[in-house]
Amino acid sequence: MSRDSRKPNLRRLATEQPNPAAANLDRKSSLEIARIINSEDAKVAHAVKRSLPQIARAVDLIAAVLSSGGRLIYVGTGTSGRIAALDAAECPPTFGIAPRSIQFIMAGGRRALAAAVEASEDSRELGRKEIAKKKPTKNDVVVGIAASGRTPFTIAALEYARAHGAKTVAVTCNRKSPLEKAAHMAIVTEVGPEVVAGSSRMKAGTAQKMILNMLSTGAMVRLGYVYDSLMVNLHPKNDKLLERGIGILETVAGLNRSQARKLLAAARHHVPVALVMAKTGVNRAKAAAALKKSHGHVRQAIAAAN
């Protein structure tokens, strides 16, 4: 069998097809181009909506793993890898979790974040090698992201992780793909042909961004790092975050600015501790103990302290 005969026929994938809505795109005005892209982008949320039950299952899986001290590890190449890196990088400052809790693997390494290293995505060996460095176990969940669902690097990484006991999730835009088959469960968003045929950084990339937002944010909410709809598990390391912490205490505890600043200082600038103190009247030590007992779940800590 020749090498070419083993390659997947990308032309059969919906994400690789020409989009009739974008016919004669190169002859359109700038406003017409923007309207076409905007119209196609509007379809993405509907495609994601159809996968909400699978997304919810993945959220519960991730929350369970993280609550037990495990890790969420994203794997991707190209656009998918960069979107994964973005989500992984933004969770620690947003939710106050340890950077080790949410990690990413990208074909080509960190230099591929700013420059294309496209040949790496064809290597199954590199996919296995990179995930092996993370030493995945039954305590981890590995999410493989690929619009086509046929990226060798990502498939091999998921297969390796699954063989070593990790839970695995596929995020793709084409059904019945090798990536879907390699994972325990799949989130498939059929966004259809791109405005620029095959440019999966567009609708497919938008769908992936939406899904990863839901996975990480949903898990953080389930873990109690959000109180009501506020990102209370932040650490005020700059003026913006300090102001946000003060604002949270004003909103949730009904304090004025001066009172909020004083309470935050008493809590040693740890917003969850200050919030438990404000809602229960306990001192800093008891608030911190309640949070430790609840594994950082703010609402449960408030109930326990009361």
| Element housing 152 (H / E) | helix 152-163
Q: Identify the pLDDT of residue 19.
A: 77
Query: What positions carry a catalytic annotation?
Result: 90, 121
Token duo for residue 279: 């809602």
Q: Identify the pLDDT of residue 8.
A: 53
Q: Identify the pLDDT of residue 11.
A: 62
Q: Identify the pLDDT of residue 1.
A: 32
Give the C-alpha separation, 143 to 123, whole Å: 18
Q: Identify the pLDDT of residue 292.
A: 93
Q: Identify the pLDDT of residue 105.
A: 96
**Tens of pLDDT, residues 105-126:** 999 888 888 777 665 788 999 9
| Nearest residue to 59 via CA among 207, 296, 233, 220 | 220
Q: Identify the pLDDT of residue 3.
A: 40
Other C-beta atoms lying within 10 Å of the C-beta of residue 92: 15
Q: How would you list the strands of the sheet with 167-172, edge to edge?
A: 102-106, 72-76, 141-145, 167-172, 185-188
- Report the chain's mean pLDDT, rounded to a whole number: 91
- Within 13 Å of residue 200, how many CA atoms lie on the same side as its CB? 28
Question: Which segments of the chain have a pLDDT < 50?
Answer: 1-6
CATH 3.40.50.1820 is held by the domain 10-222:
no
Q: Identify the pLDDT of residue 111.
A: 82
* Domain topology for 239-305: Helicase, Ruva Protein; domain 3 (1.10.8)
**Domain range list for the chain:** 10-222, 239-305
Token duo for residue 204: 């497919």
Q: Identify the pLDDT of residue 87.
A: 97
Q: Identify the pLDDT of residue 193.
A: 86
In the chain, the percentage of residues whose pLDDT exceeds 70 is 95
Q: Identify the pLDDT of residue 15.
A: 73
